[in-house]
Structure 1
Amino acid sequence: MSAMSDAVTVDRPALLPYRLLVVNGNTTSELTGSLAAQARSFFGGAAHVHAVTAAFGPAYIASRAEAAIAAHAVLATVEHEVAQAALPFDACLLACFGEPGIGAVRERLTVPVVGMAEASILTAMQRGDRYAIVTVGQRWPGMLREQIRQLGLESRCAAIISLPGNALDYVSRSPESAARVSHALDAAVEQGADVLIVAGAALAGYLPSLPRLPAVPIIDSYRAALAQVQALATLDRAQRQSVAI
């Protein structure tokens, strides 16, 4: 067994907090800090969150070329963090809606690896019949359609709405950007969606900033991933312990 596999398979008592590796596939460290704070607030004392920024690549992924670079960076960052970890991680979360490199990371790790798109879309399908995605960036609709086709979940997608501008401009949650997000959510409902996904690391934690919310379930893609990674880590730990008995 490789050193990397050893670093993620050592068992520990059930009551210890989970150790979660959160990888921001973008290179904006301020965004990593926000994602880490949101994760710690979400888990409370149930998890130790180790959040890191991709070692190289775009400040924020906005194209297929940048996603390809980020996939390499994410894999390299995960391998480095796992090799350097004093204790093994129980799960890994890729905090980027495009999930760059997720297949390669899953290939290398033996613990659950969760991405924001897959987690939020699966959650949306448990809350309604047709979902819509609201995100930032003109190239993302086409990129996400490709991603959704690969997941086999395109038949229930009512719309993908792209917000104008640079995604990092939305991190400040200004009244202007909040109004744009709110308007896009209303437009998604008009296109037939009965559950909405606010997608992307830049829009994580955005819902409390919105002036109003449509009367349908709304899913924060990052929180959906946090919830799923906790569920999968719990199942994984329980299974390993049952085998050890």
Structure 2
Amino acid sequence: MRQLLVINPNTSASVSALLQTHVQQAAGSHVQVRTVTARFGSPYIADEASFAVAAHATLDAWAHALSTEAPAPDAVLIGCFGDPGLMALRESSPVPVTGLAEAAFIEAARHGRYAIVTGGARWGPMLQRLAQGLGQAQQLAGIHTVAPTGAQLAADPVAARALLAQACRDASRQLGVQAVILGGAGLAGMASAVQADVPIPVIDSVIAGAHWALRCAPLPPERSTPGFNVAWQGVSPEMTLLGVAHHARSG
């Protein structure tokens, strides 16, 4: 059975539960999904500071997950629409890695140019920067952030559906896109709830992450050993054990 490790980079157990449910449902019974939660950081990633800490928390959660007796993952999904730590984890992992945003970008781009609808105004420039770094700047027509954060939207799903449906319709009409991404771990499942009210495909970032996990191919054999090319100081024991000093001693 294929093993998928999902890392929630924030400290919210409820978000982890939401990820576990929706990713497992979308991935199917032939994939075993294991969701782990950041051991430190913020309950909601809402600005540059919490994003920076979340990148560290993602690496720490991955190292801790590898230290347990659970089956080794065949792929890793960062369960945050913003993908904190994506490039660092991809550099260190012997299996494919993506995040909710990158997976959603790839899926939306199959339809043509796309827009993003998400919660929290500070995510606008952060997601624009991410899209630029992932080579998606030409495909991304615009980012529409609604005033409530993703956590606030998830807390009131009835009100959120109306607000998000209107935002998706506005993005479709104003930007002339062929698809819109509803981005955020806390918004898992809402794309299907608003789709009937939106004239273009609405991409659920969490479902897109699960679909990516089903398609991704293994990395070359030379990438078979996980590890950081760093002699860490002051990080968790699990990260230290995957650092340069450990590999030098064991070699």
Give me the TM-score of the superposition, normalised by structure 1.
0.85
CA RMSD of aligned residues (A): 1.6
Distance 2:124 2:205 in 1: 16
Match of 1:236 in 2: 218
Quick one: distance in 2 between partners of 1:39 and 1:156? 25
Following TM superposition, by how much is the alpha carbon of 1:28 offset from its aligned partner in structure 2, in angstroms?
0.6
The alpha-carbon deviation at position 174 of structure 1 amounts to 2.6
Q: Which moved more, 1:212-221 or 1:26-35?
A: 212-221
Q: In the TM superposition, what are the counterparts of 1:23-172 in structure 2 within 5 Å? A: 23-128=7-112, 130-172=113-155
Change (3 A) 1:211 1:220: closer
Partner of residue 249, structure 2: none
Matched with 2:3 is 19
Which residues in structure 2 correspond to 1:172-187 (within 5 Å)? 172-187=155-170
Partner of 1:171, secondary structure, is helix
- Alignment check: 8 A CA contact 2:169 2:199 kept: no
Please report how far the alpha carbon of residue 83 of structure 1 lies from its aligned counterpart in structure 2 after TM superposition: 1.6
Deviations 1:170-203 (A, max 9, x none): 2245321111100100110112211110101111
SS at match of 1:215: coil
CA contact (8 A) 2:18 2:186 kept: no
| Separation in 2, partners of 1:229, 1:40 | 11
3-state SS of paired residue (2:131): helix
CA contact (8 A) 2:195 2:202 kept: no
Output the TM-score relative to the length of structure 2. Answer: 0.83
Match of 1:158, SS?
strand
Identity of aligned residues (%): 35
User: Hey, what does 1:14 align to over in structure 2?
Assistant: none
Aligned pairs for 1:206-245 within 5 A: 206-210=190-194, 212-232=196-216, 235-236=217-218
Task: Confirm or deny: 8 A CA contact 1:185 1:196 kept in the other structure.
Answer: yes
CA distance in 1 between counterparts of 2:82 and 2:56 reads 13
The letter of the residue matching 1:49 is V
SS of match in other structure, 2:218: helix
Match of 2:242 in 1: none
| Secondary structure in structure 2 of the residue aligned to 1:210 | helix
Sort the Cα spacing of 1:85 and 1:91 in 2 relative to 1 into closer, same or farther, 3 A.
farther
* Contact 1:131–1:195 (8 Å) recurs in 2: yes
| Residue of structure 2 in register with 1:7 after alignment | none
Q: Is the 8 A contact 1:28 1:59 kept in 2?
A: yes
What's the CA shift string for 1:194-226, capped at 9, x where partnerless? 111010111111123338432212111111111
Count residues in correspondence.
Answer: 220
Letter in 2 for 1:222: V
8 Å contact from structure 1 (residues 62, 139) kept in 2: yes
Runs of 4+ displaced beyond 4 Å: none
> Separation in 2 of the partners of 1:185 and 1:73?
32
> Once the 2 structures are TM-superposed, how far is the Cα of residue 229 of structure 1 from its aligned partner?
1.3
Alignment partner of 1:201 is 2:185: yes
Q: Aligned partner of 1:132: which letter?
A: A
Give, in angstroms, the shift of residue 49 of structure 1.
1.1
Give the distance between the partners of 2:135 and 2:71, measured in 1 at CA: 36
Tell me by how many angstroms 1:116 deviates.
1.1
